């Protein structure tokens, strides 16, 4: 039996009588009540909802010379034209089998693939010291419903982002004690990574379109926003003894004293801020900065000890000085470069040879000497270098990156470099069956040069290297012992054709199989096999590029139908840079030297800046079309990278970051997209600039994040659904 009850203190029968005596409401009264409720709801919603787009942008311009929409893009399927004219799938970061399911976040965690979330400090060494500090977190609305992760096709920037199917997000194991920190020594951590999505863009073939059409579901749901507009950000320092040198995927104790043998990123995205050196100062304008840098910007004990034992750099007052006539080899870098030119006249610096990889970065004097000859030298700072000389090179304005020569391939395309140099780098090239030389053979252009120099001759090493070179069929061009520099220099040349390989008496190393694609470079193990040289004009690398600077605007035949697209991309960025970027963004370009294009396509942005006193690192995302070979073909440099992980460089490496529709391309790839903004804050120097072009639905919440980091919004412009921001990083730290 059900008993109805009225309010306390009033008999139910009396209450029922009151209800019966009340006359029914008329139609007009009902409409009035509905209107009143609607107005009340509208007022309340307006007061608590985020500000409108027009209110969020702080310094909006009414006109702008540059179109904000994305330029012509590459084909956005995962296939890319390779050296053999076919298509190759670029290998993604391997995902552990145990991480293929979506695991729930630990109790009390705010972790979510689409929710900005700042975690504890990644510094394992300072975990206890930071335990009492509040972790930087984002506070979403308490009643906000968390969107489900979804996987979708990559679309052009102006298209709606709609998913194809549910994505399986691999989450870290719930160990409970390592979240947000670098892993302990010996651990081979694999950060979460989505399987690569098939991308179909404007330039895809009909066959790919039909395949995508069959795979597409009948119903699509719109993706949730990349950044939560209702999130609030609270930041903290990355706790470390010397945290201002922190490289997340290299250092595992935070202060740089212990490092991984190879790239190994923290399990959880890094969302803490790297501290600044005490009394940090702006680098001097170029070219003054190549001769002296502020010592406090790069100082640490190991560097101090290194300075005392080398005369090519000295600590004088507040500066670290680089005497122009001093170098690690006697006679200076200019004499060293000229002696190589005499040994091999065909090298022809600055025309025939444009791009060089310098392994084992030291003074960067080799690269500076070659700058005068219009050669761009990318210094590879090895992870076992505890002196951080690559950081010094970047501070001087010399191209450099951090990597490892070990079991994995370097993040460069095949046949990329015109020459590779190793000066006193003390690498056992002949060990492990000459495996490292096989990687050099992969990234060296057919017909390119490999230059090795050393002060002291080791008979065993020389015999081992000679045997390895013979197995690779490399030709010994010249050997010389210079009386001035007191250095022995050997120059080898990679065969330009396969004829010499066919004459080998012993087929060791064997030729690589077809499935062992030489285009794969991201987290790919080095195989003990030899890649054949390309043949035929339709294959990249079969012919040497045009002399510099003609190669910048020459589009080889192997590009096929892409020639028109590359030319259009070049013209687009040339107009944007000349009409808008150089004058319309408020940037003082005299203080800009180190530039990164975070989503390079064909290198058009870098090509437009080629005549300026800057260098550009072209980062090609691993989930995008493989256009990095074309960038190198044009005489520019770059690397593969996955922006769901930190970049392999030191803090404060770059003066300017360019992000053209980077965030809209990320979609749901990254567990915490706000970590990419934190990474931009890490690698950009204070006083440095960022140019961000994207959809307004991304730029509006992104401006809130940048303001929480105290970045200065200098200029904004919007057109239709697209926009551009020019922002400047300040010296603010929490």
Token pair belonging to 668: 């749901």
Q: Are the beta carbons of 221 and 150 closer than 8 angstroms?
A: yes
Q: Are residues 422 and 316 part of one domain?
A: yes
What percent of the chain has pLDDT above 70? 71
Q: Are residues 559 and 508 part of one domain?
A: no
Q: Parallel, antiparallel, or unpaired for β 615-621 and 594-597?
A: parallel
- Name the domain count of the chain: 2
Q: Are residues 718 and 608 part of one domain?
A: yes
Residue 62 neighbours by CB under 8 Å, 6+ apart: none
Count CB neighbours of 734 within 10 A: 13
With respect to residue 573, please indicate whether it lies within any of the assigned structural domains. Answer: yes
With respect to residue 176, please indicate whether it lies within any of the assigned structural domains. Answer: no
Which among 464, 491, 516 is the end of a domain?
A: 516
Q: Is 314 helix (H, G, I), strand (E, B) or coil?
A: strand
Which among 464, 496, 516 is the end of a domain?
A: 516
Q: Are the beta carbons of 658 and 703 closer than 8 angstroms?
A: no
**Residue that the structure tokens 């122009």 belong to:** 324
Q: Are residues 585 and 510 part of one domain?
A: no
Q: Are the beta carbons of 136 and 156 closer than 8 angstroms?
A: no
Local confidence band at 256 (pLDDT 50, 70, 90 cut-offs): low
pLDDT at site 88: 44
Which residue did the predictor score with more confidence, 448 or 7? 448
Q: Which ranges constitute the DSSP H helices of 577-660?
A: 604-608, 628-633
pLDDT at site 666: 85
Most confident segment among 106-110, 177-181, 195-199, 575-579: 575-579
Whether residue 15 is predicted with pLDDT greater than 90 in this model: the reply is no
CA-CA distance, 110 to 117, in Å (whole number)? Answer: 7
Question: Among 59-63, 120-124, 305-309, whose mean pLDDT is lowest?
Answer: 120-124
CA-CA distance, 197 to 665, in Å (whole number)? Answer: 11
Token pair belonging to 122: 């990644």
Model confidence pLDDT, tens digit, residues 386-422: 889 999 999 999 999 999 999 999 999 999 999 999 9
**Quick one: 203 exposed, middle or buried, by C-beta within 10 A (0-12, 13-18, 19+)?**
middle
Local confidence band at 6 (pLDDT 50, 70, 90 cut-offs): very low
Q: What is the mean pLDDT of residues 369-379?
A: 96
Q: Are residues 364 and 495 part of one domain?
A: yes
Q: Is the dihedral of CA 468, 473, 474, 480 positive or negative?
A: positive
CA-CA distance, 524 to 412, in Å (whole number)? Answer: 11
With respect to residue 66, please indicate whether it lies within any of the assigned structural domains. Answer: no
Mean pLDDT value across the chain = 78
Q: Are residues 710 and 582 part of one domain?
A: yes
Question: Could you say which DSSP state residue 686 is in?
Answer: E
Question: Could you say which DSSP state residue 497 is in?
Answer: S
Q: Parallel, antiparallel, or unpaired for β 355-359 and 376-382?
A: parallel
With respect to residue 35, please indicate whether it lies within any of the assigned structural domains. Answer: no
Which residue did the predictor score with more confidence, 601 or 38? 601
Q: What is the mean pLDDT of residues 584-605?
A: 96
Q: Are residues 477 and 585 part of one domain?
A: no
Model confidence pLDDT, tens digit, residues 34-53: 767 777 766 665 554 444 33
pTM of the model: 0.77
Which residue did the predictor score with more confidence, 538 or 579? 579
With respect to residue 147, please indicate whether it lies within any of the assigned structural domains. Answer: no
Local confidence band at 283 (pLDDT 50, 70, 90 cut-offs): very high
Residue 472 neighbours by CB under 8 Å, 6+ apart: 434, 437, 438, 441, 494, 509, 530
pLDDT at site 386: 83
With respect to residue 211, please indicate whether it lies within any of the assigned structural domains. Answer: no
Q: Are residues 511 and 556 part of one domain?
A: no
Q: Which domain holds residue 499?
A: 288-516
CA-CA distance, 314 to 321, in Å (whole number)? Answer: 5
pLDDT at site 25: 61
DSSP string, 405-436: -SSB--SS-TT-EEEEEEES----TTHHHHHH
CA-CA distance, 493 to 488, in Å (whole number)? Answer: 17
Model confidence pLDDT, tens digit, residues 640-687: 999 999 999 999 999 999 999 999 988 778 889 999 999 999 999 999
254: left (phi over 0), alpha (psi -120 to 50) or beta: left
Q: Are residues 576 and 494 part of one domain?
A: no
Whether residue 713 is predicted with pLDDT greater than 90 in this model: the reply is yes
φ and ψ of 152, to 5 deg = -150, 175
Which among 470, 493, 516 is the end of a domain?
A: 516
DSSP string, 350-376: TTTB-EEEEES-SS-HHHHHHHTTT-E
Q: Are the beta carbons of 90 and 148 closer than 8 angstroms?
A: no
Q: Is 542 helix (H, G, I), strand (E, B) or coil?
A: coil
Whether residue 19 is predicted with pLDDT greater than 60 in this model: the reply is no
CA-CA distance, 731 to 734, in Å (whole number)? Answer: 10
Interior CA angle at 510 toward 506 and 515, to 5°? 165
Model confidence pLDDT, tens digit, residues 336-355: 999 999 999 999 999 999 99
Most confident segment among 76-85, 311-320, 409-418: 409-418
CATH number reported for the structural domain that contains residue 629 in this entry: 3.40.50.150
φ and ψ of 89, to 5 deg = -90, 120
Name all contacts of 631-634 with Cβ < 8 Å and 24+ positions apart. Answer: 631/600, 631/602, 631/603, 631/606, 632/355, 632/412, 632/413, 632/415, 632/416, 632/417, 633/540, 633/545, 633/551, 633/556, 634/551, 634/552, 634/553, 634/554, 634/602, 634/603, 634/607
Q: Parallel, antiparallel, or unpaired for β 487-493 and 444-454?
A: antiparallel
- Closest to 534 measured CA to CA, from 412, 415, 356: 415
With respect to residue 340, please indicate whether it lies within any of the assigned structural domains. Answer: yes
Whether residue 150 is predicted with pLDDT greater than 50 in this model: the reply is no
- Closest to 70 measured CA to CA, from 719, 584, 727: 719
Whether residue 308 is predicted with pLDDT greater than 60 in this model: the reply is yes
Model confidence pLDDT, tens digit, residues 152-186: 333 333 333 333 332 222 222 323 333 333 333 33
Q: Are residues 605 and 497 part of one domain?
A: no
Q: Are residues 601 and 498 part of one domain?
A: no
Q: Parallel, antiparallel, or unpaired for β 150-152 and 163-166?
A: antiparallel
Q: How far is CA 145 from CA 47, 101, 136, in A?
A: 20, 21, 22
With respect to residue 630, please indicate whether it lies within any of the assigned structural domains. Answer: yes
Q: Are residues 663 and 567 part of one domain?
A: yes
φ and ψ of 289, to 5 deg = -70, -20
- Closest to 292 measured CA to CA, from 334, 330, 324: 324
pLDDT at site 684: 98
Which residue did the predictor score with more confidence, 209 or 697? 697
């Amino acid at each position: 039996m059900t008993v109805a009850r009225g309010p306390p203190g009033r008999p139910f029968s009396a209450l029922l009588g009151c209800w019966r005596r009340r006359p029914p409401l008329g139609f007009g009264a009902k409409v009035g009540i509905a209107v009143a409720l609607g107005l009340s709801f509208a007022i309340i919603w307006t007061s608590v909802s985020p500000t409108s787009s027009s209110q969020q942008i702080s310094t909006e311009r009414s006109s702008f010379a540059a179109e904000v929409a994305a330029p012509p893009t590459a084909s956005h399927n995962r296939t890319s034209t390779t050296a053999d004219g076919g298509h190759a799938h670029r290998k993604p970061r391997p995902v552990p089998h145990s991480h293929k399911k979506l695991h729930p976040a630990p109790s009390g965690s705010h972790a979510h693939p689409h929710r900005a979330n700042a975690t504890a400090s990644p510094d394992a060494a300072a975990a206890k010291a930071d335990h009492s500090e509040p972790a930087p977190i984002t506070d979403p609305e308490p009643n906000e419903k968390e969107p489900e992760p979804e996987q979708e096709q990559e679309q052009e920037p102006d298209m709606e982002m709609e998913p194809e199917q549910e994505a399986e997000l691999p989450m870290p194991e719930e160990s409970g004690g390592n979240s947000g920190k670098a892993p302990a020594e010996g651990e081979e951590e694999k950060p979460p990574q989505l399987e690569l999505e098939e991308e179909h863009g404007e330039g895809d073939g009909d066959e790919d379109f039909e395949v995508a059409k069959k795979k597409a579901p009948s119903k699509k749901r719109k993706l949730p926003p990349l950044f939560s507009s209702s999130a609030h950000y609270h930041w903290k320092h990355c706790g470390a003894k010397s945290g201002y040198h922190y490289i997340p995927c290299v250092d595992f104790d935070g202060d740089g004293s212990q490092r991984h043998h190879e790239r190994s990123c923290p399990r959880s995205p890094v969302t803490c801020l790297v501290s600044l050196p005490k009394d940090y100062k702006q680098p001097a304008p170029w070219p003054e900065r190549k001769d002296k840098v502020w010592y406090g910007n790069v100082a640490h004990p190991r560097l101090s000890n290194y300075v005392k034992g080398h005369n090519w750099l000295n600590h004088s007052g507040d500066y670290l000085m680089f005497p122009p006539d001093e170098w690690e080899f006697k006679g200076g870098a200019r004499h060293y470069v000229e002696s190589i030119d005499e040994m091999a006249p065909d090298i022809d610096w600055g025309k025939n040879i444009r791009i060089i990889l310098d392994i084992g970065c030291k003074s960067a004097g080799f690269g500076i000497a070659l700058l005068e000859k219009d050669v761009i030298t990318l210094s590879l700072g090895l992870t076992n270098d505890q002196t951080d000389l690559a950081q010094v090179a970047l501070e001087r304005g010399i191209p450099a990156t951090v990597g490892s020569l070990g079991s994995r391939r370097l993040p460069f395309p095949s046949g990329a470099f015109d020459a590779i140099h190793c000066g006193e780098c003390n690498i056992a090239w002949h060990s492990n069956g000459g495996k490292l030389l096989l990687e050099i053979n992969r990234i060296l252009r057919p017909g390119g040069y490999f230059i090795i120099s050393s002060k002291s001759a080791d008979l065993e090493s020389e015999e081992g290297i000679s045997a390895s070179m013979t197995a690779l069929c490399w030709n010994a061009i010249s050997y010389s012992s210079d009386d001035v520099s007191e250095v022995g220099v050997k120059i080898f040349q990679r065969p330009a054709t396969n004829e010499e390989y066919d004459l080998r008496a012993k087929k060791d190393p064997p030729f690589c199989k077809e499935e062992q694609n030489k285009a794969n470079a991201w987290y790919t193990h080095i195989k003990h096999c030899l890649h054949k040289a390309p043949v035929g004009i339709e294959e990249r690398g079969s012919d040497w590029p045009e002399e510099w600077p003609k190669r910048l605007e020459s589009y080889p035949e192997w590009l096929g139908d892409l020639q028109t697209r590359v030319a259009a991309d070049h013209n687009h960025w040339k107009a944007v840079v000349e009409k808008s970027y150089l004058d319309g963004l408020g940037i003082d370009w005299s203080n800009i030297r180190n530039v990164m294009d975070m989503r390079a396509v064909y290198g058009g942005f870098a090509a437009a800046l080629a005549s300026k006193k800057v260098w550009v690192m072209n980062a090609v995302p691993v989930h995008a079309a493989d256009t990095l070979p074309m960038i190198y073909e044009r005489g520019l440099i770059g690397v593969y990278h996955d922006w769901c992980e930190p970049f392999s460089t030191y803090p404060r490496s770059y003066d300017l970051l360019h992000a053209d529709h980077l965030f809209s391309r990320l979609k749901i790839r990254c567990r915490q997209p706000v970590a990419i903004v934190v990474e931009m804050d890490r690698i950009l120097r204070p006083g440095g600039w960022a140019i961000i072009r994207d959809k307004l639905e991304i730029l509006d919440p992104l401006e809130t994040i940048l303001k929480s980091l105290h970045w200065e919004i200098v200029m904004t412009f919007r057109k239709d659904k697209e926009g551009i921001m020019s922002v400047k990083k300040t010296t603010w730290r929490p």
